[in-house]
Amino acid sequence: MASPLLTPEPRARQACEPCRKKKTKCPGERPICSFCRRLNQRCTYGRSSDPPTRSSESRQETRERLRRLESRLERIDGFFQTLTDRAPQDAMPSPQAQPFLHRILQGQTETLLSAPGIPQPQSFDPSRCLYPPPEALTRLVNVYTEKVHSQPLPLFDKERLSAQIRHFPDFLLQAFLALTLLFVELPFYGDAKAQAIELYLRSARPTVIQLAAEGTPSVPVLQALCLLTLSDVAAGRHARVWMDVGIAARLVLCVSPTGAGSATEYASTRDDQTRCCWSVFMLERVFAPGPSLLHIDSYPLGRVGYPVSPPRPRSLMANDDGSAPNAFASSAADLGIQAYCLQVTGLWYEVLGYLRQRLANPTDDPWIASSRHHTLVAQYYEFETGISQLHRYRNVGFHTITSSELLQHKEYWTAWLYLQVAFHAGQALLHHPLFHVTHVRRASSKFQPPSFLQQTIDQALLHSGWPTRLIRTWEKHGIEINDPFLAQLVATAASIHWIFQFASEKAIADRAREDFVQCQRFLADLGTRWPHIAGTADKLAYLQSLSGHSAGASSIPPFKWSAMWDLLDPNSPHSSVEETHLAFVPGGQQIATQHLVPLRESPPNRSLLRGEDEVLASSSEWMNSDFFSLLDVPYFGQGPSQLPPDCHGEL
């Protein structure tokens, strides 16, 4: 390519004017070419017009040409970097070890910015200054660590991120900037932050998709796909999320075995690869409906191992051997808090998939032992059996932790909170009264066993209360929660609280109203940082408006199926609900919490009893009392329980 700064001398045309106009090959004889002589036409030769001189070109045109050239070279440079991603990313390469295109770009950029007459840019400019200065980039790394890391993806090692980001390929840096800018205001961007986010996304996506189409599962491409997916989640672009996750999952299936290469030389790269694989697994389970490609016990997840987990705070370990003070003897090894978060996310996905099937086949009998419902209940029991005692609620003292302790070990406590909320929300969803009370009675004529209904209602009440209690305790410390998936889990609990507002028992109804308002506040706050959650808060407001119209009533008012289902499964198309069900669920459904005759009946009126009848009443009242409540039998350890009196059914 000829440099625009050079001015070549004018040269004669090699083709005559008639041949040039007809776009035919001219023989070039002079003064008359053989082609014109044969056609008996006039043959003339002209000279090319003088090209514009350097003085006639504007500086703006020069900068624009250099910008376009730089952009093309950056894309090529990013492509070559993905082919050489085996080198440790946290290493500090020498200038000779850097890609030669990177050095060329750096030299051209420095020349352009230092050229006389061209002012140095101090703010974001798409044509002159695309990336923030180093101090702003450091701020964005801190923002990612505080607001995105492990909420819920374990994508990067936060200890190495500051060193790695300086060597990110261009498309990965753009994806990183587009996501982190959602949570911070920087003077460098000013009023152009939205423009910068859109530009970064438009620039990164074509390169990432093109590289992914090559079928090489490089770490930067997988990291960029995960970041782009979270940006699309925040924007509510569900179709694009499904495409991003589908591409990333197929790339993970192409990952080479972890045994390849030197374990000492490429340990950090394999750790990054492991984090990428499990991050894609979590995105697939949380934000992409439909059949999954990745499974915990199959290749490659079964071979890469779980990602490194943050350690359990030493302050929680009382025994000399580091074990929990109140734990039963168990052969289950501690896999790390991240491993259990990934496992419980898989259970959530299975429950949600089961309920999608129930929408299509509502005649399924969940009380049958061979049903999918019972299989999932058994899987939750197996999960409880396999989890290490070190991370159970009773052995970490979450209700007594101080704010300083929580901040000091925030990475562990963030993962622990996710584990607890996901465990209880999953079981609450499995026993949701929408499917076992309102839905089944309308779709099936079979008589439902009262024992099953009692168990379902009890489990729904028990597990829907735990996410609200955990969130309330966390918020008392004044520490921000920023996990978008927690919004879906809390919304699930809120939908159950809304139904139990209309329970016949006043104590249950009052508590449900309080918990519903708590969930509303949490989602409204989280929606200020993740825009797509604002839609979830609007659906809760819609349900609450129905509650206001039925204040004091003991039956559910009519409501839209889609509004309720979107709280449970916001990532599925609405057509599957609207085509199969009525637009509105009829009102008037009674919400009973007692489907069996209670062991403790209402005490008789002693004023109406005389003599032997009074003795029998006293005897009967004692026999019907909750005998086991008089005994302090702790579930763990040998001493009395130190839990709050209302904490039952904890993980």
Q: Are strands 584-585 and 555-556 parallel, antiparallel or unpaired?
A: unpaired
Question: Which has more confidence, 313 or 116?
Answer: 313
By C-alpha distance, which of 338, 361, 420, 285 is closest to 154?
Answer: 338
Residue type, 615: V
Concatenating the DSSP letter of every residue in 499-532 gives HHTTBSSHHHHHHHHHHHHHHHHHHHHHHTTSTT
CA 384 to centroid of chain Cα atoms: 24
Instruction: Outline where 320-366 has alpha helix (H).
Output: 337-360
Quick one: average pLDDT of 217-243?
93
Q: How far apart are CA 167 and CA 161, in angstroms?
A: 10
Q: How far apart are CA 624 and CA 352, in angstroms?
A: 40
Would you say the C-alpha torsion 69, 71, 76, 80 has a positive or negative sign?
A: positive
Confidence of residue 466 (pLDDT cuts 50, 70, 90): very high
Residue 445 burial class via C-beta count within 10 angstroms: exposed 0-12, middle 13-18, buried 19 and up: exposed
Contact 306, 260 (CB under 8 A): no
Confidence of residue 48 (pLDDT cuts 50, 70, 90): low
Is 137 inside a domain boundary? yes
Quick one: average pLDDT of 160-168?
91
Mean pLDDT estimate for the chain = 77
Is 149 inside a domain boundary? yes
Clarify whether residues 304 and 366 are in a common domain: no
Quick one: average pLDDT of 190-203?
93
Domain boundary among 548, 566, 587: 587
- At 403-433, the pLDDT tens digits run 999 999 999 999 999 999 999 999 999 999 8
Contact 85, 220 (CB under 8 A): yes
Residue type, 245: V
By C-alpha distance, which of 167, 182, 180 is closest to 140?
Answer: 180
Confidence of residue 463 (pLDDT cuts 50, 70, 90): very high
Clarify whether residues 495 and 424 are in a common domain: yes
Confidence of residue 95 (pLDDT cuts 50, 70, 90): very low
Clarify whether residues 167 and 263 are in a common domain: yes
C-alpha distance from residue 167 to each of 14, 89, 170, 574, 576 (Å): 50, 7, 9, 43, 45
By C-alpha distance, which of 250, 343, 238 is closest to 291?
Answer: 250
Confidence of residue 22 (pLDDT cuts 50, 70, 90): confident
Clarify whether residues 459 and 368 are in a common domain: yes
3-state helix, strand, coil in the chain (%, to 5): 55, 0, 40
Clarify whether residues 366 and 466 are in a common domain: yes
The whole domain housing 34 covers: 17-44
CA 198 to centroid of chain Cα atoms: 20
Is 543 inside a domain boundary? yes
Quick one: average pLDDT of 595-604?
59
Residue type, 458: D
Clarify whether residues 399 and 548 are in a common domain: yes
Is 28 inside a domain boundary? yes
Supply the pLDDT for residue 90.
42
Is 2 inside a domain boundary? no
Is 624 inside a domain boundary? no
Clarify whether residues 260 and 407 are in a common domain: no
Confidence of residue 207 (pLDDT cuts 50, 70, 90): very high
Clarify whether residues 159 and 36 are in a common domain: no
- At 605-616, the pLDDT tens digits run 545 444 444 433
Domain boundary among 44, 61, 79: 44
Q: Are strands 584-585 and 559-560 parallel, antiparallel or unpaired?
A: antiparallel
Is 349 inside a domain boundary? yes
- Range of lowest pLDDT (77-86, 102-111, 494-503): 102-111
Residue type, 289: P
Please identify which residue in the block is written with the tokens 């530009």: 199
What percentage of the chain reaches a pLDDT higher than 70?
A: 70
**HEC profile of 45-63:** CCECCCCCCHHHCCHHHHH
Clarify whether residues 392 and 267 are in a common domain: no
Clarify whether residues 363 and 282 are in a common domain: no
Confidence of residue 52 (pLDDT cuts 50, 70, 90): very low
Number of structural domains (the chain) is 3
Concatenating the DSSP letter of every residue in 121-179 gives P-S-BTTTB-S--HHHHHHHHHHHHHHTTTSS---S-TTTHHHHGGG--HHHHHHHHHH
Quick one: average pLDDT of 302-325?
73
Task: Output phi, psi for 345, to 5 deg.
Answer: -65, -40
Clarify whether residues 250 and 378 are in a common domain: no
Supply the pLDDT for residue 270.
86
- Range of lowest pLDDT (61-75, 179-193, 421-435): 61-75
Element (H, E) at 467: helix 450-475
Is 639 inside a domain boundary? no
Q: How far apart are CA 106 and CA 116, in angstroms?
A: 18
Supply the pLDDT for residue 421.
96
Domain of 31: which CATH number? 4.10.240
Contact 281, 304 (CB under 8 A): no
Confidence of residue 223 (pLDDT cuts 50, 70, 90): very high
DSSP-derived 3-state class of residue 411: helix
Question: Which has more confidence, 409 or 87?
Answer: 409
Q: Looking at the predicted structure, is the pLDDT value of residue 448 above 60?
A: yes
CB atoms within 10 A of CB 218: 23
Q: How far apart are CA 96 and CA 102, in angstroms?
A: 11
Clarify whether residues 395 and 537 are in a common domain: yes
Contact 540, 521 (CB under 8 A): no
Domain boundary among 559, 587, 615: 587
